Every structure is written in structure tokens, then in C-alpha cells.
Amino acid sequence: MKRAFTYIATSAFAGMAAAYLAVTLFTTPPPAPSLAPAPPPSLAPAANPLPSQGPASYASAVQLAAPAVVNIYTAKVTVQRGNTLFDDPFFRRFFGNQFQSRPRKKLQTSLGSGVIISRDGYILTNNHVVEEADEIRVVLSNGRTLKAQVTGVDPDTDLAVLKTDASDLPTITVGDSQGLQVGDVVLAIGNPFGVGQTVTMGIVSATGRDQLGINTFENFIQTDAAINPGNSGGALINAHGQLVGINTAIFSKSGGSQGIGFAIPVALAKGVMEQILKQGRVVRGWLGIAGQDITPELAESFGLEAGSGVLISGVLEGGPADKAGLAPGDVITRINDQPLTSSHDILNLIAAVPPGNHVRVEGWRDRKPFDIQVEVSERPRMEASQ
């Protein structure tokens, strides 16, 4: 028994020794660790790169449009009378007019921007930029200064057309403002604060903005491109350098840009300019009524659906609506088969109808339907200014 145990033990030891020799003699030792630095990761582009989201630079768009954007400087002379005690009628009874203060002339200047539309010198800008100006000068992007005269204005949309005697001027390419979408890149070019031609970039924040109380007829493009005083009348262009709007107003509590600017769509501006050049003024239809939106309370009292129709709150005596028999208290629901939801709808629908044409007016009076024809007249210029 002792021999067997020893054998087994010896055999096991011998087997372990043989295994050690086999491992030592026939197994390749691992290589020593290399001290060379690891190769850098590959910088090759991915197999499916992300699609480009737009150009890295808008310099080409600016180069196309900027030469057609001008700076506008206006001057106006006003007469002011000094405020002295001798101007008071009580003192003038004793001292007469010999000590009365003399009137003083004061020169008021303002600045804005404009866009050259035609090579023969027609420029589109805002009415408030040139309103009541005695002298108008435009400065081109190359520094050339030209005199300009007002060809026509449209206070209802705050647009004006100027004319210079120069020819072969750089013009801007007119784009499609009706195809603008929220998120489209736009650039504003103008003369903010008189520092010189400046370009700012943003996106279209909204389209079709109205009832802001800025103009009578509103259909603004809202943008967050920085627009400041002096930008008025300047160009709002798309990423291709095409004119899509005329910068007009900003919403601001500080007087500077706060990311809410408004531009008149070029489609509207182009139509106004064509009428001014063709007939010297903008002709719009008019009914001579004042409307009020239907509130839920009014809808309940008239037995109508909320937001359906417009309540006539006033009718001008002798106007088209008065001659046709419309009266305060009537509710107009449709004009030429087009439903109405606000008084703004009536204003735009009638303005687009040429004077002398008839429109079909449907509505309710004393809870009974009516259907009449009204002959449209031309919108008075005095009321347009108001």
C-alpha cells in the first residue's frame, strides 16, 4: 500500500514536470509591449453624412441685393414761435407787438432706407420715411448721392414710390413672398441708426400678421432679423438675394430691436407701386360702413354661431351701404359667397373690388335673412389718411 501511494505521488509529480517542460519548450512567449504611440483615429467622412441644412455663408445673396438698397435722408423746415410773456394777449395789450417773439425756423431731418425697383430710378420705401419732406436725398451703396422726388404715396399700407433722374441703376430681383414659410432664412438690409448699410439675419417667425394697428391694410411678415430705426423702407431678402418684403415696423419697448419686426410682403408692395405708376394713386373699393366682430355674447343675442359674421356698428349717410339699405344692427355673414369672420375680412374683400362693381351682401336683420346688391364706390383718400 505504501509503494502504490508513493508511485501515484511520484507519477503525478512526474506528470506535472513533463507538463511544465512542454509548456516551457513548445509555447511561444507573448511579445513585449510596444512603446510606439497608437495610430490616430480615421478622419474619413462617414458613409452616410447628414444632409446640408443650408449655405455656410449668405455673402452671395447680399452681394446680389445690397447694391439696390439705398439710404434715404430727408429734411423738413418747420416754423416755431418762441414762448415768451409778450406773446400772451394780456401783456400784448400793454406792450403791443414790438416785443412779440419772432418765429424761428427749425430744420428736422430723418433717415430711412429704400429699394431700387427699376433701372430708370424708381425706388420703393415707406410713406412715413418721406412724409411731408421738403427735400429727399438717396445715397447708393457706392456712396453716390442723388436727389429724389415723391411719385406717389399710399398711407393705408405705409408705402411710397420715389423717382430719381439717374439711369442704369442697380435693381433688385423680386421674389415670391406668398411662398414664404415659417423658418425660412431672411436677411434685412438697411441703414439702422444712420451707421451705414447693414445686414442682419433671422428667420420668418410668422406670416399674415394683421390687426396690429400699424396700417389700415395689414398682411405683415414677422421676422426676428434685427430691424432698428433707419431700417424702415429697406429690403427683406431671402437666402437667394431676392426681395420678399419691405421692412416697416418693430415691436419694441426700448426703441431698439427685440426680435419682433414686421415687413410688408413684396406681393402687396408691388401691386401698390403698379397702381401708383399707372394712375398716380391706389384705388380701392369702399362701402362706407364700420364693423364689429361678433363676440359670443353678441352671437347668443342674435342667434348666431360665435365668430360667424360681422355686426354693422355704423353706416355713413349717403354712402354705398346707406343707399343700398344697410343699417346699424345688421349682421353681414357673406360677401360674394365668401364667409366673414371679422371686420378685417370686409375691409380686405371690398378693397379688392374695383369701384363701380356690385357685390352681393348676405346677412341677418331682426333674425330674418336678407340678400341685397351694393354698388362699390372708391375709398375716399381723406378717410384713407385718417
Catalytic residue among 154, 158, 330, 345: 158
- The Cα 350–Cα 327 span in angstroms is 17
* Active-site annotation holder among 128, 177, 343, 345: 128
State yes or no: is 210 an active-site residue.
no
Q: Is residue 128 flagged as an active site residue?
A: yes
- Grid coordinates of 191: 441703414
DSSP bridge pairs for 363: 332, 370
Three-state secondary-structure class, residue 112: strand
- Contact between 293 and 344 under an 8 Å Cβ cutoff? The reply is no
How far is Cα 310 from Cα 338, in angstroms, rounded to an integer?
A: 13
* Distance in angstroms (rounded) separating the CA atoms of residues 259 and 226: 6
DSSP SS3 for 120: coil
Identify the burial level of 310 via C-beta atoms within 10 angstroms of its C-beta, where 0-12 means exposed, 13-18 middle and 19 or more buried: buried
Q: In degrees, to the nearest 5, what angle opens at C-alpha 263 toward C-alphas 261 and 269?
A: 170
Catalytic residue among 232, 257, 330, 345: 232
181's CB contacts (< 8 A; 6+ apart) are 204, 207
232 flagged as catalytic:
yes
Cell numbers of 372, please? 341685397
Q: Give the dihedral of Cα atoms 338, 344, 349, 354; nearest 10 deg.
A: 160
The cell numbers describing 20, all together, are 511544465
The whole-angstrom separation of Cα 255 and Cα 228 is 8
Q: What are the respective helix, strand and coil percentages of the chain, to the nearest 5?
A: 25, 35, 40
Residues serving a catalytic function are: 128, 158, 232
